[in-house]
Amino acid sequence: MIKNVASPLSDKEIEGLRSGDRVLVTGIIYTARDAAHKRMVEALDRGEGLPFDIKGQTIYYTGPSPPRPGRVIGSAGPTTSSRMDLYTPRLIEEGLRGMIGKGGRSPEVKEAMKRYRAIYFAAIGGAGALLSSSIENSEVIAYEDLGAEAIRLLEVKDFPAIVANDIHGGDIYEEGRAIYRRKVV
């Protein structure tokens, strides 16, 4: 079964999601990766605000390739989430509720997710051409000088992902591996 999820995310929606669920995300998401995360957390450290209201929002870890003329966006798949782990608990404290990326997260991120009730989705790494077809609009809203790493507001429709970490402690990276692991004899 595939669940439809609206972003920004509601408490009720997050509550109902379990690791391993296949979802289609529709609504607004923001892109940010390494350089944008560093800048956002540095801004918070200086007591400044973030370039967008992060409360309830979803961040997609991606740096898209340039669009061909007439297209909304280029290839736009997820990058490795663990590089954002250092900055993520801080953003979750500020109100971030959803993340889309690939690969496992640190214990600190998982703890923050449980505490502040945030959810982490895995999208398929290396499927940027396919995923770009679910992106209907893209607009750079901050840090334009970062190019591919700028913060973009994306409107997505039926963006395919899998719940990787839920607020109940579920973790598909651990659970999936446990099912298919074969002991060495």
Give Cβ neighbours of residue 95 (< 8 Å, ≥ 6 apart).
53, 54, 55, 56, 57
One of 3, 26, 44, 75 touching other proteins (CB under 8 A): 75
Q: Does 46 bind other proteins (CB under 8 A)?
A: no
One of 65, 86, 116, 117 touching other proteins (CB under 8 A): 65
**For residues 20-52, b (16+ Cβ closer than 10 Å) or e, as one string?**
ebebebbbebbbbbbbbbebbbeebeeeeebbe
In the set 33, 37, 39, 110, the catalytic residue is 37
Q: Does 182 bind other proteins (CB under 8 A)?
A: yes
- Give the chain's count of helices (H) and strands (E): 6, 7
Pick the stretch among 40-48, 84-92, 122-130, 134-142 that binds other proteins (CB under 8 A): 122-130
What is the footprint of other proteins within residues 129-158 (CB under 8 A)?
129-133, 147-148
φ, ψ dihedrals at 162, nearest 5°: -130, 135
The CA distance from 18 to 10, in Å, is 15
Q: Does 125 bind other proteins (CB under 8 A)?
A: yes
**What are the beta bridge partners of residue 26?**
6
Residue 33, token pair as written in the block = 């990766």
Give Cβ neighbours of residue 16 (< 8 Å, ≥ 6 apart).
3
One of 8, 80, 94, 143 touching other proteins (CB under 8 A): 80
One of 104, 112, 142, 165 touching other proteins (CB under 8 A): 104
The CA distance from 62 to 68, in Å, is 18
Q: Is 37 a catalytic residue?
A: yes
Q: Does 23 bind other proteins (CB under 8 A)?
A: no
Closer CB to other proteins, 26 or 82, in the complex: 82
Q: Does 82 bind other proteins (CB under 8 A)?
A: yes
Q: Catalytic residue positions?
A: 37
Q: Contact positions toward other proteins, by CB under 8 A?
A: 20, 22, 35, 62-68, 74-77, 79-80, 82, 102-104, 122, 124-133, 147-148, 160, 162, 164, 172-173, 175-184
